[in-house]
Amino acid sequence: MRRIQTSVIVVGGGPVGLGLAASLGKAGIPCVVLEPRNEPAPIPKGQNLTARSVEHFYYWGCADELRAANLLPAEFPIGGITAYENLAGPYWYAPAGRETVGDFYFQRHQRLPQYQTESVLRARVRSLEPVTALFGWSATRVRLSDDGVRVTAVREPGGERCEVEGAYVVGCDGARSMVREQAGIPGGGTDFNQRMVLAVFRSSDLSARLERFPPRTTYRVLHPELEGYWRFFGRVHPAETWFFHAPVPEDTTAATLDAHALVERATGFPTACEFEHVGFWDLRVNVAGSYQRGRAFIAGDAAHSHPPYGGYGLNTGLEDAVNLGWKLAAVLRGWGGPALLDSYTAERRPVFVGTGQAITDGIADDRAFLARYSPQRDRAEFEHAWSGLTAGETAPPSYEPHYEGSPIVWGPPDAACGVRGKHTFEARAGHHLAPTPLSSGRDVFEELGPGYTLVALTEDRQPGTAFQAAAEELGLPLRVVTDTFDEPRTAYKHRLILVRPDQYVAWTGDDAPASALGVLHRVAGNLAADALPGHPAG
């Protein structure tokens, strides 16, 4: 039997596993990816990549390749139409989408089928020397010990076996995660008892019929009979290919479903279509009790899943990969402290819980609205309420995942990690750093290092020198970027900003802290050091 030694074993080479491998590979950490599929699954789910997710591709070194893999023209507006009852009716609006927060990120959001995204990542990990990508291989058994992990894998067809040994295993193996189960990590969640159909079809006339709307990529139909669930169309290819999902009765099968009738119920007009795929899945919110047990971690759908409403699932999974990737690299390099790996669950789980709750609340709100208002019962009252919905959708988005309460950031006292917040250019501990131009003309995001970066907007060299000396003492990688505290950088409101490897702010100040060592001890996961004399909070 073939034996492979590595540092991290990544089980599952879907987008999250590949993203984790890219993070580890870029950090120079040897890893093995096990993935049964020789090619990505040809289902165009997971299409909506946020601007934040595209930042990951930038740091993985494949953002240009991602944009090139887009099937829609670059200028095609991403965003949706919400319609009442069907796409032919008088009631619809075009809510503001993710473009409203675009200025707070260094990259623009993208829309492309998940198989295209996975192809870009497959090519990228294949080019990274520390990554061994074993496509065609399934993990069958995971054994954990205090010293390391062993994963047995099988190649199909043929049944060839191999054993991979490493320091850590990460299950990125999807909602039915074998790693989660074998590591004994409890799942849990809410089953909506709602079966959904997912169809991919070609239609040459649907685009033409939708020209009455401003150009958009998605169309969400609300109907009282759906009780808050949606009938949903997404463009895959601008001219012809669509994907569609909708709730169906629990006992529906491919043999009993009239997919064409369901599509026409949602459009409200005759729609010629040629189906390429029809499948089903069950709507539920699931989240594991912890994302770690000993040397085993889980990420992406293996750790959590929720209805695809709003397009969060893949984006949340990619952020898991980045968050865990730099922490594993730090511990394997020797500068990450004992609390660093624990902070993965502490930071990422509340973000998922908040996201799942927002989706569940949205379904309940739509259900209540559709039960309460009806143009057939009272047209004037319905129209008034509908226009109120439209106005509500243009309010500033309050979805802003952050780690304010994380044990490894210097956030405000009593803060908690979560998703409710606001986008701002102010640099705040626990929040994503907003991009800003430096006086060199380059953006600060182009200067951030692979480790920590101290952005020092001051002529005083002392804080940078103190942080650099402390970083050397801890063996921690730190880059210092200096500039003046002039417009537009004054929007950061702080002269000293310590940025983590994942572009989140760990600490801010205006003067050198009493102990740069104390600041770095905590952000690197050495929490006991908080008690050190000269600790900045002390």
Ligand X SMILES: Cc1cc2nc3c(=O)[nH]c(=O)nc-3n(C[C@H](O)[C@H](O)[C@H](O)COP(=O)(O)OP(=O)(O)OC[C@H]3O[C@@H](n4cnc5c(N)ncnc54)[C@H](O)[C@@H]3O)c2cc1C
Under the phi-then-psi rule, with left for phi > 0, alpha for psi from -120 to 50, and beta for the rest, what region is 174?
A: left
Does position 45 interact with ligand X (CB under 6 A)? The reply is yes
Q: How far is Cα 317 from Cα 118, in angstroms, rounded to an integer?
A: 13
- Give the number of residues in contact with ligand X, rule: CB under 6 A: 34
Does position 325 interact with ligand X (CB under 6 A)? The reply is no
Q: Which is nearer to ligand X, 45 or 348 (CB)?
A: 45
Of the ranges 65-73, 300-308, 422-430, 477-485, which one interacts with ligand X (CB under 6 A)?
A: 300-308
Q: Which is nearer to ligand X, 230 or 452 (CB)?
A: 230
Does position 8 interact with ligand X (CB under 6 A)? The reply is no
Q: How far is Cα 321 from Cα 386, in angstroms, rounded to an integer?
A: 39
Q: Which of 55, 85, 301, 404 binds ligand X (CB under 6 A)?
A: 301
Alpha carbon separation from 508 to 411, 437, 454 (Å, rounded): 9, 19, 9
Q: Which of 47, 286, 343, 526 binds ligand X (CB under 6 A)?
A: 47
Under the phi-then-psi rule, with left for phi > 0, alpha for psi from -120 to 50, and beta for the rest, what region is 294?
A: left
Does position 304 interact with ligand X (CB under 6 A)? The reply is no
Q: Which is nearer to ligand X, 23 or 47 (CB)?
A: 47
Q: Which is nearer to ligand X, 267 or 355 (CB)?
A: 355
CA max distance for the chain:
75
CB of 137 to ligand X, least distance (A): 7
Provide CB contacts within 8 A for 401, sequence distance 6+.
319, 351, 354, 355, 418, 419, 421, 432
Q: Which of 21, 66, 78, 178 binds ligand X (CB under 6 A)?
A: 178
Site string for ligand X, 133-172 (x = CB under 6 A): -----xx--------------------------------x
Q: How far is Cα 405 from Cα 484, in angstroms, rounded to an integer?
A: 30
Number of Cβ within 10 Å of residue 535's Cβ equals: 17
CB of 15 to ligand X, least distance (A): 5
Window 235 to 294, contacts with ligand X (CB under 6 A): 245, 281
Helix axis angle, 15-26 to 51-60, nearest 10°? 40
Does position 35 interact with ligand X (CB under 6 A)? The reply is yes
Q: Which of 6, 8, 9, 12 binds ligand X (CB under 6 A)?
A: 12
CB of 204 to ligand X, least distance (A): 23
Q: Which of 9, 14, 508, 524 binds ligand X (CB under 6 A)?
A: 14
Q: Which of 8, 9, 11, 529 binds ligand X (CB under 6 A)?
A: 11
Q: Which is nearer to ligand X, 28 or 189 (CB)?
A: 189
CB of 314 to ligand X, least distance (A): 3
Window 96 to 125, contacts with ligand X (CB under 6 A): 114
Q: Which of 4, 28, 36, 450 binds ligand X (CB under 6 A)?
A: 36
Tokens at residue 192, please? 């909506």
Does position 308 interact with ligand X (CB under 6 A)? The reply is yes
Helix axis angle, 516-523 to 462-474, nearest 10°? 50
Of the ranges 35-43, 203-211, 399-407, 462-470, which one interacts with ligand X (CB under 6 A)?
A: 35-43
Window 458 to 497, contacts with ligand X (CB under 6 A): none
Does position 406 interact with ligand X (CB under 6 A)? The reply is no
Q: How far is Cα 511 from Cα 458, in angstroms, rounded to an integer?
A: 9
CB of 305 to ligand X, least distance (A): 7
Q: How far is Cα 119 from Cα 114, in angstroms, rounded to an integer?
A: 9
Does position 314 interact with ligand X (CB under 6 A)? The reply is yes
CB of 100 to ligand X, least distance (A): 17
Site string for ligand X, 186-225 (x = CB under 6 A): ------------x---------------------------
Does position 499 interact with ligand X (CB under 6 A)? The reply is no
Helix axis angle, 313-333 to 15-26, nearest 10°? 30
DSSP assignments along 461-509, one per residue:
-HHHHHHHHHHHHHT--EEEEE--S-TTGGGG--SEEEE-TTSBEEEEE
Does position 312 interact with ligand X (CB under 6 A)? The reply is yes
Cβ-contact 221, 230 below 8 angstroms: yes
What DSSP designation does 432 have? Answer: B
* Identity of residue 186: P
Does position 311 interact with ligand X (CB under 6 A)? The reply is yes
CB of 95 to ligand X, least distance (A): 15
Q: Which is nearer to ligand X, 48 or 406 (CB)?
A: 48
Does position 174 interact with ligand X (CB under 6 A)? The reply is yes
Of 419, 184, 191, whose CA–CA distance to 310 is shortest?
A: 419
CB of 317 to ligand X, least distance (A): 4
* Backbone φ and ψ of 4, nearest 5°: -130, 135
Does position 20 interact with ligand X (CB under 6 A)? The reply is no
Helix (H) or strand (E) holding 183: helix 178-183
Q: Which of 8, 9, 16, 32 binds ligand X (CB under 6 A)?
A: 16
Residue 428 burial by Cβ neighbours in a 10 Å radius (0-12, 13-18, 19+): buried
Distance of CA 205 to the CA centre of its chain: 34
Q: How far is Cα 236 from Cα 47, in angstroms, rounded to an integer?
A: 8
Q: Which residues bind ligand X (CB under 6 A)?
A: 11-17, 34-37, 45-48, 114, 138-139, 172-174, 178, 198, 245, 281, 300-301, 308, 311-315, 317
